[in-house]
A and B are shown apart, each in its own frame.
Chain A
Amino acid sequence: MDELKRVDTYSLILGSVLLACVLVAGETSRLEIVDSRRAKSGSIVLLVGPSDGGKTAIFSSLVYNHAPPTHTSLQQNVAFFRSPSPFHRKPLQVVDIPGHPRIRGQFTDFFQENGKSKNIGGVKAVIFVCDAAALTRNASTVAEHLHLVMHAISNLPPSATPPPLLVFANKADVLTSASKSKTPNTALAVTRTTTILERELEKRRLNSIKSNTAVLGELGDEGGEDDTVGGLDVTEGDAFTFDKWDGGVVTIRSGWVDIQRPRKAHGGHDTASEDDEPKEKDTVVDPTVPKKDGLAELVDWIATLR
């Protein structure tokens, strides 16, 4: 009888301990991302940029080593990426943030110090991905997005070291170049992206200086907190360039994602839409050209991070 009772008590204690454990585990797993950010401070690499730039494709190539077709993202993708650098013993956490204007603001969660996520400093680097081939057409929207990102970086509290920013001109392989060579023209992509974005950002910088005179207040904005998007200050008094940006270090690289090309249609049906992103032209890479890794520059850059 005593024996039985003891067993009962033991199992009761064991059960309650287990229950407590489970409850705690459930709670923590719900806070997954938020918590992991805090725990792994300084290991997040953010992928930001406008829609159709190829963020998800880059994400997938980094993490899965291949790029399936993608469409506009509805939510963040988070995964681990083992950087080739010996300095990174722990894998980096790559976060792919949707670029649709309505939800692109999610990236600010990684910079803001609000109640739930005190993860300033959790961001190791920011990669701004844009479509080098389409940049001439949507320069102002791309610049607007980049401006927001730079604003967020430069508005970090002084205690936090601003994460380095990489502007990655994606889709260099479809960039039409004068030399008509089949090899992707990354140099052209870099210069073109730099000029276009610097020009657009300069315009925005001048605007923000001018409009400081009369800014409309916002509703419920009693504190009179200045809410203009700034953060484009340069060290010297002249035009904006990435080199002179006060907020941090900007690097510009270019590359492409080795997307799956449509296979030769065999048999009855073709498995189409293998392509990852919109392309104006389907430049099929010449098989004779030695295959280069389009993301090599990006991975190299990540490897240089400390």
Chain B
Amino acid sequence: MLDNCTISHKGGLVLWSRSFTPTAATLSRSNASPVNNLIREALIEGRSSEDRYEKDGYAVRWTLANDLELIFVVAYQRILQLSYVEDLLTAIKTLFIKLYAPFLTKFVASLHAQANAAPTEVADASPSWDFASAFKDWDKVFDKVLRELEQKANQERRLRTRQLTGSTALGASMSGNESFNEEHPERGSGATTPAKDATSPLDGQEIAKNIAHLKTRMKGRNSTSGKKGKGGGAGSGSDSDVSKRQSSLRGAKSKRTWGDVVPTEDDMSALDFSTDKPSDLPSAGVLDTLVDEKSRGVKKDGVYEIRDWEFSKQASREVDEDLDDFISKTLRETSLNSTGPTTSSEAQPGYISSLFSKLTGLAGSTRPLTQQDLGPVLAGMKEHLMKKNVARDIAERVCDGVGKSLEGKKVGGLRSIRGEVHAALEDAITRILTPKTSTDILHAIRQKKLTTMTTTRAGGESKMEPYSITFVGVNGVGKSTNLSKVAFWLLQNDFRVLIAACDTFRSGAVEQLRVHVRNLGMLVNKETVEDDKGKKIDLYEKGYGKDAAGIAKDAIAYAKEEGFDVVLIDTAGRMQDNEPLMRALAKLVALNQPDKIVFVGEALVGNEAVDQLTKFDRALKDFSKGEGKSGRGIDGMLVTKWDTVDDKVGAALSMTFVTGQPILFVGCGQTYTDLRQLRVSNVVQALLSD
């Protein structure tokens, strides 16, 4: 059922990876693997606060171990509802770190090489970095963890369906099982475990046994359920033969055979942890069996430290048993702790710096950051961002992401938590605002000119396709005004510009553009003589009440005919919730496929920015989908009225965060020259300044 599980370092080296199907294996090797997508879109763009990332039918879950800079990723088919993934991640994270802590610490240290330690390190470190051999035992461990969790999940699910069908007759429960199988056809065929399918075939006898077992459980629930104790739960007479059978099975069993055989009742009951829910905590007797006092860790300063895993034991058969214990212990711990914060994962690795940490501890430093430490600082940062007009949920998500990236990280020296958070936040905001695609429109226009020229030269025609930019947005944000500023800028760069008046709704819209064109034409003519090609700027209009998509198409055709380089398409403002109008806009986009779709938004906007952008983006993508064509979304933003907000520039962050697209221009005044490009460092500074 799982597709891929990967453990890797933040620097990009994969320490261990496993794919469960051939398709997933090939995919995981490709550029578009779920892990790569996750890192690119969720982690680098700072959206890691969502605990689940979905792409191409995959659901991806992950967890970070910040002190060792590790990423644990599990990918599975989105349609599956795997309840145990969260537990699996926690379990493998804890186990992996515990098992390989010394190796990992050394490995991470080797990736942060420092000059003073150089020569010796190179010499002694190089031979031992073979991950395959270093983690060769991990395969086994992982298999066991996965199988235990899967069986537990299966058990729970089965129990649930049973309870649904009620404690009626056998036939009813059988049909319940059948319907269950129909509902989840992938369960049987899914075959997550590479070795063998864990689910047992359900024959009549098996079902009878299960029901008997269920009855025992129901009875035993209120009293001391001795599931894990010896022969407990055999209280009632009707179950006696079952329990006898169980005990005989137990006697005959020599060792644990995971997954190789059909799991017996005994196994299932042993693995059923479903009673560990907070509602009915196991009694003291059961709890005793859960904790092996010998291998119990030490409690120190309120932090529970798991005992270190001893490597010396790792060869024989007995080790397997130990490993089993270790794994199941960890699993139990994760399920017990799933309600609260897992204290076990915060155990401090006892490497060389233990002495140092104690000494520096006097000065209040070098300790891993905890949620408690970060909470108040992050809340303060969130408030601060919101004061800067960042939309509420964006501020929340950014701060959550920062918190996640810092949790468990060690702060050293005299650096305060606040300083650490401040630096991380600055980093995150810079990353969000930095464009990931080229924002050089002039280059793109020339590029298109060149490529279409060369292709058409072969055909004998010398007409090239114009570069088209569509301006969209809600009413009154300044689409037409800023369109004319862009036109002015393009004219300055010696392009011939055609403006298409596709706002056929608002009275005066066409006239407004006509005035702009007249002004711009006069401005240009003052500087440069009109060349032989004709006008440098022109307006294409068809009056009011016409179909905007058609006008745009005609305008592009006209521009091609007349040799204009760029077509700027002005559209009517519309509310993002108005579906008919959004459909009309999407039609315009689908019909003309403009090179750039620029969303125009005000810098004044607060929480509304998120709503506007998401709905515009979604509507455009959904409605402009054609046969074989994927929908077009927004390609960039133009933020207007920048001069009105002083340093409350949060809208810029909100907008880039929502779409992931860059801010192409900023409008900041009344004249044609008041168009700027955004400098990221400037915005970051404004956002973080007090």
B121 within 8 A of A: yes
| CB-based nearest A residue for B434 | A102
B36 within 8 A of A: yes
B443-A204 in contact (CB<8A)? yes
A105-B434 in contact (CB<8A)? yes
B415 within 8 A of A: yes
A71-B413 in contact (CB<8A)? no
B119 within 8 A of A: yes
A103 within 8 A of B: yes
Give Cα A223 to B126, complex, Å.
Answer: 50
B535 within 8 A of A: no
**A90 contact set on B, CB distance < 8 A:** 118-119
Known A-B contacts A23-B363, A23-B413, A80-B121; the reply to A272 vs B17 at CB < 8 A is yes
Known A-B contacts A102-B436, A213-B492; the reply to A272 vs B19 at CB < 8 A is yes
A297 within 8 A of B: no
Shortest C-beta distance, B147 to chain A (Å), equals: 12
Shortest C-beta distance, A83 to chain B (Å), equals: 11
| CB-based nearest B residue for A100 | B44
Shortest C-beta distance, B662 to chain A (Å), equals: 10
B13 within 8 A of A: yes
A-facing mask of B116-130, CB < 8 A → 1, else 0? 101101100010011
**B22 contact set on A, CB distance < 8 A:** 272
Give Cα A25 to B122, complex, Å.
Answer: 22
A65 within 8 A of B: yes
Interface residues on A, range: 35 or more
Give Cα A26 to B363, complex, Å.
Answer: 11
Query: Which of chain A's residues 18-58 have a Cβ closer than 8 Å to chain B?
Result: 18-19, 22-23, 25-27, 29-30, 32-33, 35-36, 39-40, 43, 51-52, 56
Give Cα A215 to B548, complex, Å.
Answer: 32
Shortest C-beta distance, B567 to chain A (Å), equals: 19
A68-B15 in contact (CB<8A)? yes
A72-B40 in contact (CB<8A)? yes
Query: Which of chain A's residues 205-223 have a Cβ closer than 8 Å to chain B?
Result: 206-207, 210-211, 213-214, 216-221
A278-B40 in contact (CB<8A)? no
Give Cα A232 to B682, complex, Å.
Answer: 27
A98-B12 in contact (CB<8A)? yes
Known A-B contacts A65-B126, A101-B437, A217-B677; the reply to A93 vs B113 at CB < 8 A is yes
A76 within 8 A of B: yes
B665 within 8 A of A: yes
Give Cα A91 to B119, complex, Å.
Answer: 7
A234 within 8 A of B: no
B682 interface neighbour in A70, A218, A278, Cβ under 8 Å: A218
A241 within 8 A of B: no
Query: Which of chain B's residues 649-688 have a Cβ closer than 8 Å to chain A?
Result: 665-666, 668, 675-679, 682-683
**A77 contact set on B, CB distance < 8 A:** 11-13, 111
Of B24, B132, B675, which is in contact with the most chain A CB atoms at under 10 Å from its CB?
A: B132
A74-B363 in contact (CB<8A)? no
Give Cα A221 to B682, complex, Å.
Answer: 9
**B431 contact set on A, CB distance < 8 A:** 102-103
A36 interface neighbour in B114, B130, B678, Cβ under 8 Å: B114
A304 within 8 A of B: no
| CB-based nearest B residue for A40 | B115
**B132 contact set on A, CB distance < 8 A:** 68, 260
| CB-based nearest B residue for A36 | B115
Binding site for A on B (CB under 8 A): 4, 6, 8, 10-15, 17-20, 22, 24-25, 28-33, 35-36, 39-40, 43-45, 69, 71, 110-116, 118-119, 121-122, 126, 129-132, 139, 194-196, 356, 359-360, 362-363, 365-366, 412-415, 431-432, 434-438, 440, 442-443, 446-447, 450, 489, 492-494, 642, 665-666, 668, 675-679, 682-683
Binding site for B on A (CB under 8 A): 18-19, 22-23, 25-27, 29-30, 32-33, 35-36, 39-40, 43, 51-52, 56, 60, 63-66, 68-82, 90-91, 93, 96, 98, 100-103, 105, 140-141, 144, 203-204, 206-207, 210-211, 213-214, 216-221, 260, 262, 268-273, 275, 277-279
A79-B110, A216-B665 known, 4 other contacts, Cβ within 8 Å: A26-B356, A29-B114, A63-B110, A100-B40
Q: List 30 A–B pairs whose Cβ atoms lie within 8 Å, in order of A's numbering.
A: A23-B363, A26-B360, A29-B412, A33-B112, A51-B40, A56-B12, A64-B126, A65-B129, A68-B132, A69-B14, A71-B6, A71-B8, A71-B12, A74-B12, A77-B12, A77-B111, A78-B113, A91-B119, A91-B122, A102-B44, A102-B431, A103-B434, A204-B443, A211-B493, A213-B492, A219-B676, A273-B6, A273-B19, A273-B28, A278-B32
